[in-house]
């Protein structure tokens, strides 16, 4: 007589697990997101002309001025505060030739394209169509922050698109395409350089069917020490995929660097690369280091303190890389959240760097809606508590530097709490099982 079969208890749902039924398709979500962003672009034109406080990001004026200099055959770095690749100024030359709104429309297009790549990545990882659409809509397409960033004329959406494309191609086995996108991403913004280690670790593990490096090592003695474990990982990274990725990505980055150095000389290296490595922004921002850098701006130790601020980032990024490289998207999400939270400079637009990866990791975070909403509420409260003294400093002229710093420390604590909660509720096994069934 056959034994009775007991049904398995249902697996805990991810943060977007309840979105798979009764929701419109990805086309409708993209249409709604496009209309919302176009509406914000049009509203921005009205506010810029009718109000003293402009809707358009101040950087967009910098982009346009740099593009105008390029059309005149001059260096974009003759525009003060232009700290970006000349490629961006070249892309925005239609701002001069056609209409100044062109750049915003380009950024909106990149914004929506990033959502499409995230949706395809979710489908490849085993998410149902409705669930994938729900994750993209909740975390990106209908999220007010990405909407505001792209419609105000900030170029972060283009970086998000390149980062997502890099991870999508890596997970799909298209190493060459991934390397091209990654080289472009690092050229446009330096922060994706931190993904190099997890990508290399992921590629070396993929050679053995996704088994972790610790599971297949032959030198058992080396496993007894953490240093030996890291040495094993390093040795096993020297395979064909890793070398191909490094060669192609390095070639793309080097070619762009050499070409623009030939055109614009040292000022290109200084403003596009070196400035961001040595930057010490003493203006108020979310960073826990801003007040220290502000008080020590004239000190001989100022530069050394700025470099020391990288140490907590480097240590945390190393630990996260080794622990989570098997799930590349989740590892890069943690990388970016940690990098932004502990950075020397942290502004609202930086949040887009990790929000673009959130749709891909949401199904793997087995957290109740109540807990998720509480963490989201705390995240907004942390920003609100920082914005209050920042407003009085910037618009009223009150000395609220200490309050801003304390609010920044609280926001760092909230971000750290959210990261810990995400890690503790992370379960990749369910997604792996779905992927294997397909």
Residue 273 contacts residue 190 (beta carbons within 8 Å): yes
Residue 360 contacts residue 329 (beta carbons within 8 Å): yes
Among 136-150, 348-362, 417-431, the minimum mean pLDDT is found in 417-431
Quick check: 347 pLDDT over 90?
Answer: no
Q: Decide: helix, strand or coil at residue 365.
A: strand
Residue 83 contacts residue 265 (beta carbons within 8 Å): no
Which pLDDT score is estimated for 41?
95
Which pLDDT score is estimated for 291?
80
Structure tokens at 74: 């001059």
Which pLDDT band, with edges at 50, 70 and 90, does 230 fall under? Answer: low
- Residue 150 phi/psi, 5° resolution? -70, -40
Q: State which H helix or E strand residue 393 sits in.
A: helix 369-396
Which pLDDT band, with edges at 50, 70 and 90, does 436 fall under? Answer: very low
Q: What percent of the chain is modeled with pLDDT above 70?
A: 82
Quick check: 211 pLDDT over 60?
Answer: no
Please tell me the distance from the alpha carbon of residue 115 to that of residue 101, in angstroms, as a whole number.
22
Structure tokens at 160: 């998000």
Which pLDDT score is estimated for 348?
86
- The dihedral region occupied by 73, where left means phi > 0, alpha psi between -120 and 50, and beta the remainder, is left
Mean pLDDT along residues 398-404: 88
One-character DSSP codes across 152-190: TT-THHHHHHHHHHHHHHHHTT-HHHHHHHHHHHHHH-S
Which pLDDT score is estimated for 280?
60
Give the CA dihedral 263, 267, 272, 276, nearest 10 degrees: 170
Structure tokens at 39: 């509406």
Task: Let me know if 9 is exposed, middle or buried by CB neighbors in 10 A (0-12, 13-18, 19+).
Answer: exposed
Contacts of 108 by beta carbon, 8 Å cutoff, 6+ apart: 34, 37, 38, 41, 150, 151, 157
Mean pLDDT along residues 323-347: 91
- Report the greatest alpha carbon distance in the chain: 87
Which pLDDT score is estimated for 282?
57
111-139 pLDDT, tens digit per residue, is 999 999 999 999 998 888 888 999 999 99
Integer distance in angstroms from the first to the last C-alpha of the chain? 33
Please tell me the distance from the alpha carbon of residue 331 to that of residue 372, in angstroms, as a whole number.
20
Which pLDDT band, with edges at 50, 70 and 90, does 374 fall under? Answer: very high
Q: How crowded is residue 247: how many other Cβ atoms within 10 Å of its Cβ? A: 12
Percent helix, percent strand, percent coil in the chain, to nearest 5: 75, 0, 25
Quick check: 143 pLDDT over 80?
Answer: yes
83-117 pLDDT, tens digit per residue, is 899 999 999 999 999 999 999 999 999 999 999 99
Helices and strands: H and E segment counts in the chain: 23, 0
Which pLDDT score is estimated for 212?
41
Mean pLDDT along residues 286-315: 78
Give the CA dihedral 288, 293, 296, 299, nearest 10 degrees: 140
Average pLDDT score over the chain: 84
Task: Let me know if 250 is exposed, middle or buried by CB neighbors in 10 A (0-12, 13-18, 19+).
Answer: middle
Residue 70 contacts residue 86 (beta carbons within 8 Å): yes
Q: Decide: helix, strand or coil at residue 426.
A: strand
Residue 313 contacts residue 193 (beta carbons within 8 Å): no
Structure tokens at 31: 């249409």
Which pLDDT score is estimated for 336?
95
Structure tokens at 89: 């100024």
Structure tokens at 231: 């040495």
- The dihedral region occupied by 126, where left means phi > 0, alpha psi between -120 and 50, and beta the remainder, is left
Please tell me the distance from the alpha carbon of residue 13 to that of residue 176, in angstroms, as a whole number.
35
Mean pLDDT along residues 226-246: 73
Which pLDDT score is estimated for 210?
41
- The dihedral region occupied by 158, where left means phi > 0, alpha psi between -120 and 50, and beta the remainder, is alpha
* Most confident segment among 42-51, 157-166, 215-224, 311-320: 157-166
8-51 pLDDT, tens digit per residue, is 444 455 666 544 434 458 889 999 999 999 999 999 999 988 88
Which pLDDT score is estimated for 287?
86
Residue 360 contacts residue 323 (beta carbons within 8 Å): no
Q: Is the sign of the CA dihedral 419, 424, 426, 428 positive or negative?
A: positive
């Amino acid at each position: 007589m056959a034994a009775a079969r007991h049904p398995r208890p249902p697996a805990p749902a991810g943060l977007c697990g309840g979105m798979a039924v009764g929701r419109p398709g990805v086309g409708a979500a993209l249409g709604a997101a496009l209309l919302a962003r176009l509406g914000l672009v049009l509203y921005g034109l009205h506010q810029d002309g009718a109000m003293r406080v402009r809707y358009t990001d101040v950087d967009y004026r910098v982009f346009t001025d740099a593009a105008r200099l390029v059309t005149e055959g001059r260096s974009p770095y003759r525009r003060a505060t232009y700290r970006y690749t000349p490629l961006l100024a070249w892309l925005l030359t239609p701002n001069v030739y056609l209409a100044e709104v062109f750049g915003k429309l380009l950024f909106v297009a990149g914004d929506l394209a990033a959502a499409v790549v995230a949706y395809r990545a979710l489908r490849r990882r085993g998410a149902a169509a409705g669930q994938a659409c729900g994750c993209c809509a909740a975390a990106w397409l209908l999220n007010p922050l990405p909407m505001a960033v792209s419609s105000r004329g900030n170029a972060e959406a283009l970086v998000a698109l390149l980062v997502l494309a890099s991870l999508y191609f890596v997970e799909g086995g298209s190493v060459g395409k991934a390397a091209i996108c990654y080289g472009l991403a690092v050229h446009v913004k330096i922060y994706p350089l931190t993904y190099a280690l997890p990508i290399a670790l992921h590629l070396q593990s993929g050679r053995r069917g996704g088994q972790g490096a610790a599971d297949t090592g032959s030198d058992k003695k080396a496993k007894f020490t953490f240093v030996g474990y890291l040495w094993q990982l390093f040795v096993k990274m020297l395979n064909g995929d890793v070398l191909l990725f490094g060669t192609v990505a390095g070639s793309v980055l080097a070619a762009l660097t050499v070409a623009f150095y030939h055109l614009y000389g040292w000022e290109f290296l200084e403003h596009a690369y070196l400035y961001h490595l040595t930057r010490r922004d003493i203006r108020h921002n979310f960073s826990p280091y801003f007040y220290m850098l502000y008080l020590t701006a004239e000190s001989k130790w100022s530069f050394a303190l700025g470099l020391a601020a990288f140490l907590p980032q480097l240590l945390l990024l190393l630990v996260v890389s080794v622990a989570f490289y098997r799930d590349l998207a989740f590892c890069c999400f943690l990388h970016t959240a940690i990098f932004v939270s502990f950075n020397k400079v942290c502004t609202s637009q930086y949040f887009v760097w990790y929000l673009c990866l959130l749709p891909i990791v949401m199904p793997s975070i087995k957290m109740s809606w109540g807990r998720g909403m509480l963490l989201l509420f705390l995240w907004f409260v942390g920003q609100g508590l920082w914005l209050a003294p920042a407003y009085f400093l910037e618009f009223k002229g009150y000395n609220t530097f200490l309050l801003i710093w304390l609010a920044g420390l609280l926001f760092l604590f909230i971000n750290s709490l959210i990261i810990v909660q995400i890690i503790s509720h992370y379960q990749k096994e369910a997604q792996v099982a779905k992927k294997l069934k397909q």
